[in-house]
């Protein structure tokens, strides 16, 4: 855990969130706030002055508004706010708390960027007349300005067991860093053991993977994360193991004591576990594989187009020259056609390469002609006219082999159905 050089960092204040500005100096800059406010008056968290319990709805909303207004004033210009909140039923009618609160926060300057659904796998097993079984809560994502931090590439899905066939068959259609998150987040409610022994018995902490996703999107290392209604401290704990600074407010001292005890016992173990999960070498490998598949598929289409339009047999030798980082330019690739140069073919290629499908690949292609079909010594892999996803052990001379390369991609589409 970080040494607390600044006395307001990495601690939980046993104070009222309505007094945040009294305890956090105006020089403090919050990068993101992640919080689940107290449920209106449905739950007694066991302390005086709590927001929600025993209040009227109007007063409750007003308190939340003024707390988030204070937070706005000490949030960095590229900062944000995540509020996990739900509707509820009163006097036989749904109270639209997420939307009522959003309207209040908009008045304070917060910009509502997104509404995400947190789909929980299980909740209370009952429903009532006119109210289905509850399965989700809302996550409201606000920002202070339009120049907000948003590291969306860090939370892409590149788990190939979940991505099925598209990534092998259509590598040109999707982001090589993985599939973007959608607006429905499925995270089970923590059960005993997922936050470590003893911990969840007393609380309803948020799922750590969900909190980690928010932290990853909206902050970098050393940034400051706030939870004004810290409860069990799940937001603060996750921030700490992700090497962010944190600050929290919580009225119930027992919760704070438990959090401090928990962080002492579990910090280094869970930090180690987390650093294993976020090891981004898997994403780098995924990206490389997608780009290799693109380079090969481009070559395959090139051969197909030539053979469809000219009465010649074509083969192409593919070499990736450079991996680039621009949005629409991802690769520089040499395509050496194993045939003699031909003006008509050249004109044809110049015309088709600037149009789809070729223009969709993010590939800057250099077409060359290699009259002498001899390839330099070395190990090559051959790909057929229809498949760029399985290299063949057939000799390069085989007429079935149309794409030749040192790139080795041995993936069968049928394995990813």
Nearer to ligand SAM, 172 or 250 (CB): 250
Per-residue DSSP letter, 155: G
Instruction: Determine how β-strand 88-90 pairs with β-strand 93-95.
Output: antiparallel
- # chain residues binding ligand SAM, by CB under 6 A: 22
Nearer to ligand SAM, 83 or 330 (CB): 83
Nearer to ligand SAM, 40 or 380 (CB): 40
* 203 burial type by CB count under 10 A (0-12 exposed, 13-18 middle, 19+ buried): middle
- Residue closest to ligand SAM, measured at CB: 231
Nearer to ligand SAM, 13 or 361 (CB): 13
263 is an interface residue for ligand SAM by CB under 6 A: no
State how far the Cα of 132 lies from the Cα of 164, in Å rounded to an integer: 33
* 19 burial type by CB count under 10 A (0-12 exposed, 13-18 middle, 19+ buried): middle
C-alpha distances in Å from residue 383, one per residue of 88, 198, 199, 226, 399: 59, 56, 54, 54, 11
Reduce the secondary structure of 360-382 to three states and give it as a string.
Answer: HCCEEEEEEECCCCCCCCCCCEE
Pick one of 45, 136, 150, 310: the residue that binds ligand SAM (CB under 6 A).
45
* 227 burial type by CB count under 10 A (0-12 exposed, 13-18 middle, 19+ buried): buried
229 is an interface residue for ligand SAM by CB under 6 A: yes
Pick one of 141, 255, 389, 391: the residue that binds ligand SAM (CB under 6 A).
255
Pick one of 8, 66, 252, 364: the residue that binds ligand SAM (CB under 6 A).
252
- Region of 109-117, 199-207, 340-348, 373-381 interacting with ligand SAM (CB under 6 A): 199-207
State how far the Cα of 135 lies from the Cα of 329, in Å rounded to an integer: 42
205 is an interface residue for ligand SAM by CB under 6 A: yes
207 is an interface residue for ligand SAM by CB under 6 A: no
79 is an interface residue for ligand SAM by CB under 6 A: no
What minimum distance in Å lies between the beta carbon of 70 and ligand SAM? 12
State how far the Cα of 211 lies from the Cα of 400, in Å rounded to an integer: 51
What minimum distance in Å lies between the beta carbon of 96 and ligand SAM? 19
Nearer to ligand SAM, 70 or 232 (CB): 232
**Residue 195 CB partners (closer than 8 Å, separation 6+):** 205, 208, 232, 234
50 is an interface residue for ligand SAM by CB under 6 A: yes
Pick one of 10, 33, 36, 388: the residue that binds ligand SAM (CB under 6 A).
36
The residue length of the chain stands at 417
Pick one of 57, 203, 369, 416: the residue that binds ligand SAM (CB under 6 A).
203
32 is an interface residue for ligand SAM by CB under 6 A: no
* 176 burial type by CB count under 10 A (0-12 exposed, 13-18 middle, 19+ buried): buried
251 is an interface residue for ligand SAM by CB under 6 A: yes
Report the interhelical angle of 253-277 vs 234-241 (nearest 10°): 40
160 is an interface residue for ligand SAM by CB under 6 A: no
Nearer to ligand SAM, 171 or 205 (CB): 205
Q: What is the dihedral of CA 373, 376, 380, 383, to 10 degrees?
A: -20
Residues near ligand SAM (CB under 6 A): 16-18, 36, 38, 45, 47, 49-51, 203, 205-206, 229, 231-232, 234, 249-252, 255
């Amino acid at each position: 855990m970080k040494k607390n050089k600044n006395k307001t960092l990495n601690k939980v204040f046993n104070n009222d969130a309505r007094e945040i500005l009294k305890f956090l100096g105006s020089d403090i800059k919050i990068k993101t706030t992640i919080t689940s406010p107290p449920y209106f008056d449905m739950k007694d968290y066991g302390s005086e002055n709590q927001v929600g319990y025993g209040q009227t709805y109007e007063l409750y909303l007003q308190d939340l508004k003024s707390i988030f207004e204070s937070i706005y004033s000490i949030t960095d210009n590229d900062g944000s706010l995540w509020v996990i909140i739900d509707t509820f039923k009163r006097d036989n009618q749904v109270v639209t708390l997420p939307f009522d609160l959003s309207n209040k926060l908009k008045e304070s300057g917060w910009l509502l960027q997104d509404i995400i659904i947190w789909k929980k796998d299980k909740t209370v097993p009952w429903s009532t007349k006119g109210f289905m079984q509850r399965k989700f809560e809302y996550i409201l994502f606000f920002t202070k300005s339009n120049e907000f931090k948003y590291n969306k590439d860090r939370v892409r899905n590149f788990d190939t067991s979940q991505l099925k066939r598209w990534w092998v068959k259509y590598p040109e259609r999707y982001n090589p860093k993985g599939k973007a998150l959608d607006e429905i987040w499925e995270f089970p409610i923590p059960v005993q053991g997922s936050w470590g022994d003893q911990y969840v018995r007393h609380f309803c902490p948020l799922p750590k993977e969900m909190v980690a996703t928010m932290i990853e999107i909206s902050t970098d290392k050393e940034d400051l994360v706030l939870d004004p209604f810290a409860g069990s401290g799940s937001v603060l704990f996750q921030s700490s193991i992700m090497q962010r600074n944190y600050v929290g407010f919580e009225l119930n001292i027992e919760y704070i004591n438990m959090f401090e005890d928990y962080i002492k016992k579990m910090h280094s173990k869970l930090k180690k576990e987390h650093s294993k999960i976020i090891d981004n070498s898997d994403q780098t490998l995924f990206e490389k594989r997608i780009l290799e598949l693109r380079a090969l598929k481009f070559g395959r289409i090139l051969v197909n187009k030539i053979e469809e339009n000219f009465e010649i047999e074509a083969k192409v030798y593919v070499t990736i020259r450079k991996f680039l980082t621009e949005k629409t330019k991802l690769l520089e690739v040499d395509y050496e056609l194993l045939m003699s140069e031909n003006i008509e073919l050249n004109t044809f290629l110049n015309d088709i390469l600037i149009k789809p499908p070729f223009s969709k690949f993010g590939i800057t292609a250099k077409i060359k002609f290699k009259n002498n079909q001899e390839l330099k010594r070395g190990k090559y892999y051959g790909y057929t006219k229809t498949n760029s996803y399985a290299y063949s052990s057939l000799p390069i001379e085989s007429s079935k082999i149309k794409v030749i390369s040192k790139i080795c991609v041995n993936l069968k589409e049928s394995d990813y159905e």
